[in-house]
Each structure stands twice: as structure tokens, then as C-alpha cells.
Amino acid sequence: MERMIKVVFQDRIVKEFSQNTTLEEISHSFKEYYNYPILIAKVDNNLTHLGKTITKKCNIDFYDRTSTVGNNVYASSVQLMLIVAIKRICGEDTDVMIEHSIDKGIYCELINRKITKQELKKIEEEMHNLVAEDLNFTRISVARLDAIKYFKKTKQLDKVKVLKYISNSYVNLYRLDDVYDYFFGEMANSTKDIDDFKLTFIDETGFVLAYPNIYNPECTLDYVHHKPIFDKFLEYTNWGKAIGISTAADLNEIVSIGKYNEIIRLSEAHYESQLAEVSELIYKEKNVKIVLIAGPSSSGKTTTSKKLAVYLQSKGFKTHSISTDDYFLERKDTPKKPNGDYDFESIKAIDINLFNKHLTKLLEGGKVSLPEFNFVLGKKEYKNNYLQIKENDIIIIEGLHALNDELTIAIEDKYKYKIYISPLTQLNIDNHNRIHTSDTRRLRRIIRDNKYRGYMAADTLKMWKNIREGEEKYIFPYQDSADKVINTALVYELGVLKTYAEPLLFSVPEDDETYPEAIRLINFLRNFLPIPSDEVPKDSILREFIGGSGFVHK
């Protein structure tokens, strides 16, 4: 008699299935709860490929592309489909570099050759053919040394290099059609479930792969080219190539021989050069009286604003900082979310009338009593903090809404200089595994929250969804209005962040809802050798997160 296994779905629905039933077969019984194809399972809080079978009683949940977990799976899967389609159309020896995110898509380049619009159209058609063929993504666990031998044989030296520095005895490879590849993320079960994507031609150098995201899961939006951000990514990519660091393996090679000090100095100098350039541009503008700085969470806004102040002072300016946090509306007037919580992230939570009245008066040469917001009492207080600016004075304002013109609606554009900052990393793990800018910021935030606020990694990971939603709503829509983009990524920082973040991530309990995400980040960090923080300068932007900053005092 066939043995039956009890399955508990989402802690509330119990069903029985015969032993060795695959998770894909089980998922059919629960697909009514999802709007899109199920991509991956969570079995006893561990992400598990749908091709796996059940052998004992377990708790199960599933994810489609509307979730962060499911969308990560969708992204990895569509990227492998792109790789296979390129080989089918352009030849087995043709490879692609999957680089950085840009407007909900990923910028890609063929390696050592150009691409035409006609070729790109054929590649996209071939990807749709893969969907129709209903091919399985097959996960294979192999000895790391055997994987290295295979990739040497197939001349995929980028993977040989990165696997050299991973300590695992076994690694997971994925096979699609006849192509084997190394991905540290999870894959879907079948190509039929990865049916929505677009390829957009940028120029003969590269193109963008776009697909649905958690903010718009219904379909793939048309790509919108954000030139300032794109150019900053390209600049940093070219700089990385110039110093010989394009992948994690390149960085690991330098770390392994103890020569990371030079890379730290080069990286810090590159960041500083951007501040020097911006201060020079502001100096030449003459009319600028207000510098506005915005960027997503953990971009390093505090350090950047303070260091930019020093550069401006070296040009003969006197700088003053004003915090928009001190201009919150009284608690009783603060807008609320649909669930009744105060919406402190909304621009409507700021006393815009008072803020503009003060800025206008300052620009006219008047004296203003600046408020200080009492977050305990929920009201502004005045403690004889007066400000009056002179001809060579500049006000620096950094905050969530700094690039939104509504914040400074009464101020003429000629007086404003807008800066967007973000750690736009140019580093890849290898040709096909890119590093998410949001992962760098997430690791920075986990470390800072633990050090200065006493939060555990799980606490920060739980907050991240709301943080990202706020960025999508209040920051990213205004990035193109910036006069200048500053990249706050440091090419060496993931090696340093690893030493601080890894222990915190291991503290996430196995039964915690954020455990799968903690494991994903742990697996991501395994691609990097640790770098001691001793040589990180006291004025580095990284010190804002790991501690010991000469600029930021918590």
C-alpha cells in the first residue's frame, strides 16, 4: 500500500499526498491561491526547487512572481533562458555579460562582439520558443572541483575563477537545454512559467532585459532610459576594468595575496573625486544657494552631505545643514496610511508651507528660528537656533524628498542644485551573476541597524519591503531630475561587509519568516573573501555603517 504524506499549506490547510510526489504536482492543488504560475516552494522554511519530492510530513508554502522570493527566481530563470537563446542564435561560443539593473531591467552586453537590432529580435523570439518547448531547469549538485574542471573544459574562465574562492565542497549547477551554468540563486521548474519579458536595443554595445517585477507583476513595462544613472554605471564599469576588477573573483585574487590596501585607496579616491567635481560645478554655477541630496536607504547620504560641505568650504563657501525631519507636521496633522498608521514617509507629512517660508526668508537675507522636532511629543520646538545666511553661504538639505520639487516649490530652480546618490556597484560575481545594488544597501543597513539601534538582522529584513516601497514611491521617480549623480559604491566594500554581516545573518532563527532571505544573502557573501576593516579610512562612507566614522556620530 502506498504511503501517504501529510502536507500543511500556509499553516492552515491540510492535505495528503502519496510519498515521492513532486512539489510541482502538489502545487497544482493550491494554484487557485495564486494569480501567476508558482515558481518555487518553501518546505519547512527552506526554499526548495519544484522538481523535488516530499518524503515526510511538512509545512509548505509557494511563491509566484508577485513576491520578492518568486521574483528573484523569475529573474534567474529568465537570465538563463537569455543565455541559451544567445547561444542558439549567435553560436555556442558567444557569451553575454549580465551587468546591472536599470529601470526595472538588466543591462547586458555580448562579450567581445557587438549586436544588431535584428539579432536581438531573433534572440527574443528564441526565448519565446524556449517557453513553448516547456523545458525543465534541472538543478545538479556537483563537487566544486569537478565543476571547475568542467568550466575549464568549456572555457568559462569567469566561473573557474569565482569557484576557486568558494569553500563549499559541492556547488549547484543548473542545466537548461544543453547549457550548464552556475547560479547562486534558485530557478523555476519550467520555461513555460517564464513567459513575459522584453529585450530593448540600446546601441550596438548592449541591450536591456526586462521582466515583470513585484510592483508591476501583470506584465513587462517598456524600458525607459535613465541617462544620468546609465552613464554613471558605465563610468564605474569602465573604471573597474581600468583597475582590473570587474568580478568578485578579480577582487578575491587581490585579497588572497594581501594587496587590498591599494584597492581601498583607489576606491576611496574615486569616490572623493566625484565630490571634488560636484563642488567645482557648484562653484561655477554662482547662483546656487541650496544643495539638495536624496537617495535610497543606506546610500550614505549623511557622510556624502558632510564631506561635500568640506569640499564646498574649501571653495570659500560657508555651509549650513537643514534637516527636513525637523519640519514634520504636528502629530495630530500627520497623514495616515489605510491601516491607520502614521505615514511619516509621505511628503504630506512635512510642513511644506513653513519649510518654504523659511527658505524664502533665508534667501532674502532674513533671520529664521529653526525648529527641532520632538519625536516623543510629536511637535516642533524652538530652542533659539537662529540662522541667517550671507552671500557665500550654501544650505545643504538631505532627505527622502529632496529631489521632489514640491518640497521646495517656492524656490526658483536657479538657486537649487540637486544630487542623487546611490551605491551603483559595477562588480559582478561572474559573467552571469550580477550583484544587486539593493543587496549592497541591505547589508549596509543590517550592520548599521544592529550597531546603532540594537536591531537583529531579522528585524531589518522584515522592514525591507516597506523601505523599498517607499523608495519606489518617493525617490526613484525623481532621480532623473538630478543635476548630478554620485556613486557611493566602493569596489572593495562587500569583502568588509561580509565580516560584519555574516554573523548577523547566521543569527536569524530557522523558523523565522526571513530565514530564506538570510540564507540567500549568506550564499551571496560566500563568493567574497573577507577584508579586514583596519585599513578603511575614518572618513570613508563605509564607516557610516560599520562604525568608527570621523564624520557621522550616532
Distance, CA of 518 to CA of 502 (rounded, Å): 9
Distance, CA of 73 to CA of 100 (rounded, Å): 17
Residues of the chain with CATH 3.10.20.30: 4-63
Residues 6+ positions from 503 with CB-CB distance below 8 Å: none
Distance, CA of 501 to CA of 373 (rounded, Å): 33
Distance, CA of 417 to CA of 294 (rounded, Å): 11
Residues of the chain with CATH 3.40.50: 231-317+392-546
Given a contact cutoff of 8 angstroms between Cβ atoms, the answer to whether 83 and 191 are in contact is: no
Residue 176: which of 188, 163, 160 has the closest Cα? Answer: 188
pLDDT at 455: 94
Residue 60: which of 25, 23, 32 has the closest Cα? Answer: 23
* pTM for this predicted structure: 0.91
Given a contact cutoff of 8 angstroms between Cβ atoms, the answer to whether 308 and 279 are in contact is: yes
3-state SS track over 60-103:
EEEECCCCHHHHHHHHHHHHHHHHHHHHHHHCCCCCEEEEEEEC
CATH architecture, domain 4-63: Roll (3.10)
Residues 6+ positions from 146 with CB-CB distance below 8 Å: none
- Other CB atoms within a 10 A radius of the CB of residue 101 amount to 19
Joined grid coordinates for residue 140: 545538479
Residues 6+ positions from 215 with CB-CB distance below 8 Å: 104, 469, 472
| Cα 233–Cα 534–Cα 549 angle in degrees, nearest 5 | 70
Distance, CA of 80 to CA of 82 (rounded, Å): 5
pLDDT tens for each residue of the chain, 554 residues long: 578 889 999 988 999 999 889 999 999 999 999 999 999 999 999 999 999 998 899 999 999 999 999 999 999 999 999 999 999 999 989 999 998 887 778 999 999 899 999 999 999 999 999 999 999 999 999 999 999 999 999 989 999 998 999 888 899 899 999 999 998 888 999 999 999 999 999 999 899 999 998 888 999 988 888 888 888 888 888 899 899 999 999 999 999 999 999 999 999 999 999 999 999 999 998 899 999 999 999 999 999 999 999 999 999 999 999 989 899 999 989 998 888 888 888 899 999 999 999 999 999 999 999 999 998 899 999 999 999 999 899 999 998 899 999 999 999 999 999 999 999 987 899 999 988 889 999 999 999 999 998 999 999 999 998 888 888 889 999 999 999 999 999 999 999 999 999 999 999 999 999 999 999 999 999 999 999 999 999 999 999 999 998 876 65
Distance, CA of 547 to CA of 45 (rounded, Å): 33
**Residue appearing with cell numbers 495528503:** 16
Residue 422: which of 327, 491, 488, 326 has the closest Cα? Answer: 488
Residue 536: which of 245, 258, 250, 265 has the closest Cα? Answer: 265
Distance, CA of 188 to CA of 518 (rounded, Å): 20
Reported residue count of the chain is: 554
pLDDT at 123: 97
Residues 6+ positions from 298 with CB-CB distance below 8 Å: 423, 441, 442, 444, 445, 448, 545
pLDDT at 64: 96
pLDDT at 1: 59
pLDDT at 44: 93
Distance, CA of 283 to CA of 278 (rounded, Å): 9
pLDDT at 148: 94
| Cα 61–Cα 18–Cα 40 angle in degrees, nearest 5 | 25
**Residue appearing with cell numbers 546611490:** 422
Number of alpha carbons in the 13 Å side-chain half-sphere of residue 57: 4
pLDDT at 499: 96
> DSSP states of 470-501 as a string?
HHHHHTGGGGGG-SEEEE---TTHHHHHHHHH
Distance, CA of 430 to CA of 249 (rounded, Å): 7
378 residue type, one letter: G
Residue 105: which of 201, 231, 247 has the closest Cα? Answer: 201
Fold (CATH) for 231-317+392-546: Rossmann fold (3.40.50)
Number of alpha carbons in the 13 Å side-chain half-sphere of residue 148: 14
